[in-house]
Amino acid sequence: MRRLLMVNWCQLSNTSCVIQKNIIEKIIYFLLIAYAAVATISISASNIVISLALVLAIIHYAKYPTTNLGIDKGLLKAILFFLFAMFVSAVFAYNPALGFPEIGHTAYRTAPLFLASSFIKDKRQLWIILLVLIAAFTVNNFYAIWLGVNGNLRASGIRGGPMILAGYLVQLIPLIFILFINNICNTKDRRFLGLAIFIAFLALLFNGTRGAWIAVAAVLFAYAILQVRRNTKLSLVALLFLIVLIISLFSNQMFYDRVKTITDITFQSNSERLLMWQSAWHMFLDHPLTGVGTGNYGDLYQIKYISPQAQEPFQRHAHNNFFQVLAEYGLIGFIAFSYMFGYILFNAYVKLRDNQNNIWALAAILVTLGLLVQGLTEYNFGHSVIMRLYWFLLGLFYAAGRIYGTYL
């Protein structure tokens, strides 16, 4: 009898553990839906939701340490390598007190990657989150279009400036485009995606961020190249979208006047960027191995490295991911940064090469490409909301790869 009671107790205990595990996972999933709903609309709300989900995930991992993080070890090592490079840079920084908190911020921004890849379990969950994310993004774009129609060429979203909206656009336009053009959902959802991509293109025009225009054009061209062997029709559709974008920019005088400034080095925004890049390069030359230190660019730029020709003296970053990384983290950090994104691109490319129907690998390539191309003229890696969205999307692609059997 005693043995029977012990067996029954163990069974009840195991059942209770399973129930608790399922409850925690369900709550995290609902928090991810909430994040998808606010990611492009409210910075503070997205912070709160991700923080709550992260706390629950840590509790979950502590109680059930065998839980799979949902990503491959190569990506985890690449992220840890970059964080280590940041740590080394912070140790040798002019002001280490600025550097160490920045390491924590950067690590925190990767949380959506692990949350999405670990706690999205099936197609229904995946599509609910994708559709909620795109719906909220579309609402944000409607607001930007309203601003643009009322004469604001540098239209922003509901929260954040034009550059924040641009960071959303260069990532979510490729994703929506892929989902729409590959026809992997039902007719009703596809119609919604078609409307969302149309609204997003209009928001892109009125946003007026030249780096975002170039990034989206580069993404469409890359899609056409990557898909030419798999499906010539899809490549032609991508080129058609590219042509429509170019015609839209050149047929409207307001847009065209801004396009003309892209190659004008005397245009103040361009000349200021060139001066900031020179300053960042000088920082790197003076501190080639570890840079001036994580989080130290802004102060040292003001104190020592600002060009006498600069007209905008209160800049806090280099307006370029690669120059910023070189200046702050030096060669070690630059190698780690390049390796991290290089790994993401190469790994996704290998998966796409092995399976031409792996749209999630294709999405990972194009979203990353959009982020990096825009990052040639803006330090979008330093924007927490943009990078949280990027890591969240990458986590969705890993979850989708597992669910659909086409792993990243």
Q: Which residue has the tokens 């969302």?
A: 196
In a domain, 126, yes or no: yes
Quote the domain boundaries for residue 256. Answer: 70-404
pLDDT in tens, the chain (408 residues): 555 444 444 454 556 556 788 899 999 999 999 999 999 999 899 999 999 999 999 998 888 876 678 889 999 999 999 999 999 999 999 888 888 999 999 999 999 999 999 999 999 999 999 999 999 999 999 999 999 999 888 999 998 899 999 999 999 999 999 999 988 888 899 999 999 999 999 999 999 999 999 999 999 999 999 988 778 888 898 999 999 999 999 998 989 999 999 998 889 889 999 999 999 999 999 999 999 998 899 889 888 888 888 887 778 889 999 999 999 999 999 999 999 999 999 999 999 999 988 999 999 999 999 999 999 999 999 999 999 999 999 999 999 999 998 877
What pLDDT was estimated at residue 312? 76
Closest CA to 300 of 311, 288, 289, 316: 316
pLDDT (0 to 100) of residue 407: 74
- Could you give the number of structural domains in the chain? 1
In a domain, 33, yes or no: no
Distances (CA, A) of 267 to 77, 251, 263, 391: 42, 22, 9, 34
In 3-state terms, what secondary structure has residue 282?
helix
Contact residues for 399 (Cβ-Cβ < 8 A; gap 6+): 70, 116, 117, 120, 126
pLDDT at 5: 41
* pLDDT at 1 (0 to 100): 53
Prediction pTM value: 0.93
Which residues are within 8 A (CB) of 34 and not within 5 positions of it... i.e. 6 or more apart? 45, 49
Is residue 61 in some structural domain? no
Tell whether 25 is covered by a domain: no
Q: Does the residue 2 lie in any domain?
A: no
Give the Cα separation of 171 and 271 in Å (integer): 27
Question: Is 86 within the bounds of a domain?
Answer: yes
In-domain check, residue 46:
no
pLDDT at res. 14: 56
Taking CA atoms, 353 is separated from 175, 226, 246, 268, in Å, by 19, 9, 30, 43
pLDDT of residue 3: 56
**51 found inside a domain:** no
The answer to whether residues 53 and 108 touch, using CB atoms and an 8 Å cutoff, is no
The pLDDT of residue 17 is 59
Query: Residue 6: helix, strand or coil by DSSP?
Result: helix
